[in-house]
Amino acid sequence: MSYVLSGKRTISAPTRERVERSIQQLGYHPNAGARALASSRSDIIALMMPLRTDMYVPVMMEIAMAVATTAREHGRDVLLLTDQEGPEAVRRVIGSGLADAMILMDVELEDARLPLVHESPRPSVLIGLPADTDGLTCVDLDFVATGRLCVDHLAELGHQELAVIGEAAAVYERHTGFAERTINGVRERVAELGLRMLHRPCEGSFESMAGALARIFDERPGTTGIIVQNESAVGPLLSLLRQQGRAVPEDISVVAVCPDQVATQTSVALTSVAIPAHEMGRRAVELVMAKLGAAGAGRARAAAPRETVVRLLSPRLTVRASTGHAPRLVR
């Protein structure tokens, strides 16, 4: 029991002073490896990010940063993993004791990492919702509520015919869940309010957006409200609408689901539902810490109680310049 003992034992003032002076003088740094070996905790949290850099990059980045800073506030470090290594990375990192816990980003509905998470002796937290959340701890934005919220806002302004411009088709095929959930929320609320809607996936490119818009106004010329959930489509959308002589918000109202930074940097500041990336990262770490604490509390470190925790963050809509009253029906 050499030194300061991290306050686990009561220490008298003189001893503590003596020790702390020596620490200063010798430039002492406790050795991480030795500490990990003796205590069987590394004080490291692994964060597994998607390698794919084609979607929501700023959001991913912000989550990672929030995880890193929050972890440090709790005295933990973060190990950065990518999914290129495959699901086995979970076993490698946990099995070797390199990390005490894991945070998984970009969780898919049937995620290949889930079996490993279930058999892992260490706590994990998912950012995103898989199909079956049983026994898991998850954080995510409540995308169903997000969809409903967007519809509510447009409905209050008198819009009756809506269109959703979603993520690229590939995103839906990958079953990432969040895209579908938003659409479901929109559908529900549209049905409840007796409105009409159309849904078109869209890549980030101008061509793709041009196509999507053409099909929308072709099938439903009366469309006056658009909900976009696709960061990179926002710029093209606004440019094209302007090019087509459709004024925002006089002719068309636009609600985006995107980070605030994107919403405020466009030509017309966008009414939007923010993606609370920072809070998602922070919450994930806090849930991890809670689970780590709980594990230690159990006398003989009983197997974790296999609790299911799903923390859905409530969406918040910020009204900016891109939404307004529906134009009067001229006819």
CB 41 to a second copy: min, Å: 9
CA-based torsion, 54, 56, 59, 64: positive or negative: negative
With CB cut-offs between 5 and 8 Å by kind, which of a second copy, DNA, none does residue 191 bind?
none
Q: Which is nearer to DNA, 28 or 110 (CB)?
A: 28
Which runs of consecutive H residues, i.e. helices, occur in 224-323? 234-243, 260-264, 277-297
Nearer to a second copy, 153 or 278 (CB): 278
The option from DNA, a second copy, none interacting with 5 (CB < 5 to 8 A, set by class) reads DNA
131 touching a second copy, by CB under 8 A: no
Residue 26 binding DNA, by CB under 7 A: no
**Which of 87-95, 107-115, 120-128, 311-319 is the region at the interface with a second copy (rule: CB under 8 A)?**
87-95
Q: Classify residue 34 by its DSSP letter.
A: H
By the rule CB under 7 A, 297 interacts with DNA = no
Choosing from 15, 22, 267, 308, the residue that interacts with a second copy (CB under 8 A) is 267
Strand pairing of 137-141 and 161-165?
unpaired
**Residue of 24, 26, 34, 218 that binds DNA (CB under 7 A):** 34
The item of a second copy, DNA, none sharing an interface with residue 266, based on CB under 5 to 8 Å by kind, is a second copy
Q: How far is the C-alpha of 234 from the C-alpha of 154, rounded, in Å?
A: 18
Amino acid residing at 12: S
Beta strand residue intervals within 215-279, DSSP E = 225-228, 253-257, 271-273
Q: Is 241 in the site for a second copy (CB under 8 A)?
A: no
Contacts of 298 (CB under 8 A, 6+ apart): none
Q: Which two tokens stand for residue 215?
A: 């099909």
Q: Binding of a second copy at residue 4 (CB under 8 A)?
A: no
User: Residue 37 interacts with DNA (CB under 7 A)?
Assistant: yes
The reply on whether position 105 binds a second copy by CB under 8 A is no
Cα–Cα distances in Å, from 281 out to 64, 68, 69? 7, 8, 9
Cis-peptide, bond into residue 327, ω within 30° of zero: no
What is the DSSP secondary structure assignment for residue 231, as one 8-state letter?
A: G
Residue 22 touches which of DNA, a second copy, none (CB < 5 to 8 A by kind)?
none
Q: Under a CB-based contact definition with an 8 Å cutoff, are residues 64 and 118 in contact?
A: no
Q: How far apart are CA 301 and CA 88, in angstroms?
A: 25
Residues 6+ away with beta carbon under 8 Å from 282: 66, 67, 70
Alpha-carbon torsion (118, 120, 122, 128), positive or negative = negative
> Rule CB under 8 A: is residue 235 a binding residue for a second copy?
yes
* CB nearer DNA, residue 21 or residue 325: 21
The residue from 24, 25, 40, 84 that contacts DNA (CB under 7 A) is 40
Number of residues this chain uses to bind DNA (CB under 7 A): 22
| CA 170 – CA 60 distance, rounded (Å) | 18
Contact flag: residue 39 with DNA (CB under 7 A): yes
- Among residues 232, 272, 223, the alpha carbon closest in space to that of 252 is found at 223
Stretches 91-99, 186-194, 298-306, 321-329: which one binds a second copy (CB under 8 A)?
91-99
Strands 271-273 and 317-318: antiparallel
Residue 23 contacts a second copy per CB under 8 A? no
Q: Is 11 in the site for DNA (CB under 7 A)?
A: yes
Task: List residues binding a second copy (CB under 8 A).
Answer: 27, 29-37, 40, 42, 44, 47, 49, 51, 53, 57-58, 60-62, 64-65, 68-69, 72, 77-82, 84-85, 91-93, 95-98, 204-206, 232, 235-236, 238-239, 242-243, 264-267
Task: List residues binding DNA (CB under 7 A).
Answer: 1-3, 5-6, 8-12, 14-15, 28-31, 34-35, 37-40
